[in-house]
Amino acid sequence: MIVKNLHINVKIRLLVLVLQRLGTTLIIPFMAIYFAQEYGVATAGLIILITIMGSIFASLYAGYYSDKYGRKKILVFASFTRSCAFLLMALFNMPNNQIIAMSIFSLLLINICLGLSIPPTQAMIIDVTSKENRKYVYTLSYWFNNTAMAIGTLLGAFLFKDYFFELLLFVTFLNFVIFFLIKFLLVETHSLKQVIPIKKSPFHEFVNSYKTGINDVLFRKFILAGLLTLGLEMQLGNYISVLLENDFKVVSILDFKITGIIMYGILQVENAVLVIVLAIMLNRLLKKLSVNNLTQLNVGTALFTFGFFGLTITNSFVFLIIAMVILSIGELMYVPVKNTLLAELPDDENRSKYMALNTLNVRGASILGAIGLSIGGLLPPWGMGIIYLLMGAVSILLFYDIFKNKIDTLNEESNVSNG
């Protein structure tokens, strides 16, 4: 399997993913620190929480309308509005003329657009992939995502404080490029059926359209398990970043001073580089050892959890690096299997609505990240670490239960080679 044989939408998606992740990681991971410095940790958590809520409702409407009217219309609208939101944030963060309240509004709008775009994007990828190449596409997306994240986070760590306005202009430009790519190159993949007039109100139809996913017991368990694992991931850009900024003791290496915010950037880059370097090798090793999907998922989740626990209980440069290695290996193991499991749960007609409901765990995880930021102001770091361990343990139990019911389907699939 090679990239040139993939559907045009997958190729565009990979390019958009790189540009979008690069732009996002230049700005968004540091907004928690930005608001914490202005309003305090607890209030910053509340601000992040408010900006996320709009994204949740937007994702539900996006899932419903993209199944009914098509994927591309939603994506075009979301990408254009997101571009305008970044431009608005730039205008209100010009040097010596910052209006932080407008930054909050802009971030809210950006999150709403993110919520609008995720369900149709996920559904479109499933539309144009098969069981045979889907895991490869997810692994490839993950690799591109982490490459862009490494570059964006590293640049953001060094430039955010002194060049915030210039970064916003650059990210605005990237988002308008994304808009043109989606508008003129992306192909609609959803086969629209004739809309039958109904007597019920549109809102009633909207609510009923989600009943299939909500009534799916396995999918509800998947949502909760995903919420908890992603909730751990969101701690890095919220509680842990602020913890490093406030508590990390400056380390000098060859006369170069590593502050808390730079240490955060180093950890993000380390994670991305490990994913880039180890993704294909680890996949081949697991295939050679004949590790089944259930074992890979649960061991990966456990390592991922212990890595986050390590990040909360140490201030040592070396041990932070080791904790991130453990976390990254776990992430590489569990994420592709989790994505494959997600693709197996929905039926074709309700795919976008399932993806929209799945977005609840993405946005819910963002809420957990914001809540973690606020709770972290009340608990010692080891207390947060214990909460992380409990979240991971519950996720493993839920994933096991899902696999117990889907094992005939999922464990017949072999690990697909990454090329």
SS3 category, 37: helix
Has residue 5 got a pLDDT over 70? yes
Residue 345 has pLDDT above 60, yes or no: yes
Task: Please indicate, yes or no, if residue 195 is contained in any of the structural domains.
Answer: no
Where residue 209 falls among pLDDT bands split at 50, 70, 90?
low
Split at pLDDT 50, 70, 90, the class of 133 is: confident
190: in domain: no
Question: Which residue from 306, 331, 293 is spatially nearest to 407, judged by alpha carbons?
Answer: 293
Domain tally for the chain?
1
Look at 81 and 153; give whichever has higher pLDDT. Answer: 81
pLDDT at residue 408 above 70? no
290: left (phi over 0), alpha (psi -120 to 50) or beta: left
Above 70 in pLDDT, residue 419? no
Q: Is the pLDDT of residue 191 over 70?
A: no
Residue 202 domain-assigned?
no
Q: Which domain, by its residues, includes 234?
A: 3-185+210-410
- Among 199-213, 225-239, 358-372, 396-410, which is the least confidently predicted range? 199-213
- Asked if residue 199 belongs to a domain, the reply is no
Q: Which of 194, 197, 189, 198 is nearest to 68 (CA)?
A: 194
pLDDT at res. 204: 56
Q: Note the pLDDT of residue 211.
A: 67
pLDDT tops 50 at residue 30: yes
pLDDT score of 198 more than 50: no
Per-residue pLDDT tens digits for 36-83: 888 877 788 888 888 888 887 787 778 777 777 778 889 999 999 999
Dihedral sign, CA of 15, 17, 20, 25? negative
| Distance (Å, whole) CA 286 – CA 337 | 12
- DSSP for 230-274 reads HHHHHHIIIIIHHHHHHHPPPEEETTEEE-HHHHHHHHHHHHHHH
The answer as to whether 392 is a domain residue is: yes
Give tens-digit pLDDT for 304-331.
999 999 999 988 899 999 999 999 999 9
| Largest interatomic CA distance in the chain | 73
Please check whether residue 203 lies inside any domain of the structure.
no
Residue 198 within any structural domain of the chain: no
C-alpha 328/C-alpha 104 separation (Å) is 31
Q: Which two tokens stand for residue 348?
A: 């074709």
pLDDT band at 352 (very low <50, low <70, confident <90, very high): low
* This prediction's pTM: 0.69
pLDDT band at 15; cut points 50, 70, 90: very high
Mean pLDDT of the chain, nearest integer = 82
Q: Residue 94: which H helix or E strand, with range? A: strand 93-94
What CATH number did the domain enclosing 404 receive?
1.20.1250.20
The residue-averaged pLDDT of 263-274 equals 86
